[in-house]
């Protein structure tokens, strides 16, 4: 199996949140009751029932007009995952490079505080499952046993969120293909957004998830780790 990567193109994202719903559906996670707090970001944060989240970042442009920048937040699938340092037996790296929690391998340690182990505060505790959860790159959809209904364009294995996204903001594939797609989209985007950039957010080097941003990372409240 190839080294798989995911491009999250925030410039295309329209914050429809179909990805959030598709992720819940694939992982059999229930809805959550939330309250309006003055932002359309909903739910307010990642949780044990929400493995991916569209973050709404507001800022004023040069003309003083308010703008939204959407950030598609989820596990970075780092090349050197700090979560694995915290729980070596319970965190696996698949041959595709996905970082997956394997609670069966280490059930007694399922309550290790993983939020603090991850530099990006990604894993969250699911009370119903009594374990930490996070985006698993839909690793089971990349297995040879995956059903055609989970695939895109008549046969490309893909994640539930990529299949659901109506604007092609999520793009997975062999890492060379994904990096090439990212560079092509960046060159196109820079004609409109001169500060556009590719954000490699994973810990320890280029991870298996990268982002295309229309503005500099600080406008998305992203750090430099
Ligand atoms: S982002 Fe956090 S949870 Fe995901 S692989 Fe990296 S350290 Fe682990
Ligand atoms: S890759 Fe799978 S687990 Fe990760 S956010 Fe998308 S649907 Fe959820
Ligand atoms: S489905 Fe696509 S466009 Fe809709 S919120 Fe998710 S990434 Fe953005």
| Atom 2 (ligand 2) nearest CA | 138
Per-residue model confidence (pLDDT) at position 196: 98
pLDDT tens digits for 171-207?
999 999 999 999 999 999 999 999 999 999 889 889 9
| Atom 7 (ligand 2) nearest CA | 23
Per-residue model confidence (pLDDT) at position 1: 59
Ligand 1 pocket, residue 141 CB under 6 Å? no
- Name the burial class of residue 113, with classes exposed (0-12), middle (13-18) and buried (19+) by CB atoms within 10 angstroms of its CB: exposed
Per-residue model confidence (pLDDT) at position 112: 78
Between 134 and 104, the more confident residue is 134
Which residues form the pocket of ligand 2, taking CB atoms under 6 Å from any ligand atom? 22-23, 26, 51-52, 74, 135-138, 159-161
Query: How many C-beta neighbours within 10 Å does residue 136 have?
Result: 22
How far is ligand 2, taken at its centre, from the CA of residue 88, in Å?
22
| Atom 3 (ligand 3) nearest CA | 13
Q: Which of 99, 52, 49 is CA-nearest to residue 71?
A: 52
Indicate which atom in ligand 3 lies nearest the CA of residue 52. Answer: 6
pLDDT tens digits for 106-164?
667 677 788 789 999 999 999 999 999 999 999 999 999 998 889 988 789 999 999 99
- CA dist list (Å): 185 to 44, 55, 169, 181: 29, 21, 11, 6
Q: What mean pLDDT do residues 33-49 have? A: 93
Ligand 1 pocket, residue 92 CB under 6 Å? no
Per-residue model confidence (pLDDT) at position 114: 84
All domains in the chain, ordered by first residue: 1-29+45-225 (3.30.70.20)
**What are the tokens at 51?**
């493995």
Per-residue model confidence (pLDDT) at position 98: 97
Our mutation pick for probing the ligand 1 site, out of 99, 117, 201, 225, counting the most ligand atoms within 8 A of Cβ, is 99
Tell me how far apart the terminal alpha carbons of the chain are, to the nearest angstrom: 29
How far is ligand 3, taken at its centre, from the CA of residue 137, in Å?
16
Per-residue model confidence (pLDDT) at position 11: 97
Pairwise CA distance, residues 131 & 127, whole Å:
7
> Is pLDDT at 16 greater than 80 in this prediction?
yes
How far is ligand 1, taken at its centre, from the CA of residue 80, in Å?
8
| Atom 4 (ligand 1) nearest CA | 75
Per-residue model confidence (pLDDT) at position 197: 97
DSSP code per residue over 33-77: -----SSS-SSSS-BTTBS-EEEEEEEE-TTS-EEEEEEEE----
pLDDT tens digits for 69-85?
999 999 999 999 999 99
Per-residue model confidence (pLDDT) at position 225: 59
């Amino acid at each position: 199996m190839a080294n798989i990567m995911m491009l999250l193109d925030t410039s295309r994202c329209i914050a429809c949140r179909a990805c959030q719903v598709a992720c819940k559906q694939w992982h059999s996670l229930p809805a959550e009751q939330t309250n309006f707090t003055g932002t359309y970001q909903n739910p307010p944060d990642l949780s044990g029932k929400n493995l991916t989240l569209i973050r709404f970042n507001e800022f004023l442009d040069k003309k003083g007009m308010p703008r939204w920048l959407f950030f598609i937040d989820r596990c970075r699938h780092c090349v050197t995952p700090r979560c694995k340092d915290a729980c070596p037996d319970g965190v696996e790296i698949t041959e595709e490079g996905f970082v997956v929690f394997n609670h069966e391998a280490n059930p007694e340690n399922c309550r290790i505080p993983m939020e603090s182990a991850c530099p990006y505060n990604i894993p969250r505790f699911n009370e119903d499952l009594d374990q930490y959860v996070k985006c698993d790159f839909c690793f089971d959809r990349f297995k040879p046993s995956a059903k055609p209904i989970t695939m895109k364009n008549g046969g490309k294995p893909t994640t539930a969120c990529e299949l659901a996204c109506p604007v092609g903001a999520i793009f997975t594939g062999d890492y060379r293909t994904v990096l090439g797609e990212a560079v092509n989209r960046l060159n196109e985007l820079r004609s409109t957004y001169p500060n556009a950039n590719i954000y490699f957010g994973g810990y320890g080097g280029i991870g298996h998830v990268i982002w295309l941003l229309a503005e500099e990372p600080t406008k998305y409240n992203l750090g430099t780790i």
